[in-house]
Amino acid sequence: MIKVAMTGVYVDDVAAAHAFYTDVLGFETRLHMDLGDDTLFVAVGAPAGAQPELQLLLEPGQGPIAESYRTALYEAGIPCIVFSVDDLLAEYGRLRGLGVRFTHPPQRQGPVLAAVFDDSCGNLVQLIQPKE
């Protein structure tokens, strides 16, 4: 059986993204290594007990491939990643209270309730809550 172990998100600034994804979104640090020359290798994941085998790598977004990819996604309004939550309205309120800017408030999209926010690191991120 093949399972996802790690996926990445290109970010403007790895240290700032690490702070946002842990302090604001509530992820925990899984890996944090200084590779020298101001290069960090940082991976985060869901808090203890939830998806322990899955990590999100916060990758430096500089360079022509990453920059054009991120810019195209952002300008088209396409989220770079989707996270699920148990209660989207509560999470929306919590994140707005922390100053997170949403580009799309919660709305029904087929089988899910969805919202999109700016991660302050150059990306749009979608939150979804499956609906019965």
What is the percent of the chain with per-residue pLDDT over 90, rounded to a whole number? 83
Q: Which ranges of 21-114 would DSSP assign to H, the alpha helix?
A: 64-76, 88-97
Q: What is the pLDDT of residue 20?
A: 97
Query: pTM to 2 decimals?
Result: 0.92
SS3 call for 2 = coil
Q: What is the pLDDT of residues 36-78, one digit of tens each?
A: 888 889 999 999 878 888 999 999 988 889 999 999 999 999 9
Q: What is the pLDDT of residues 98-132, one digit of tens each?
A: 999 999 999 999 999 999 999 999 999 999 999 86
Find, among 15, 125, 122, the residue nearest to 72 by Cα.
122
**Cα four-point dihedral sign 27, 82, 109, 70:** positive
Q: What is the pLDDT of residue 52?
A: 85
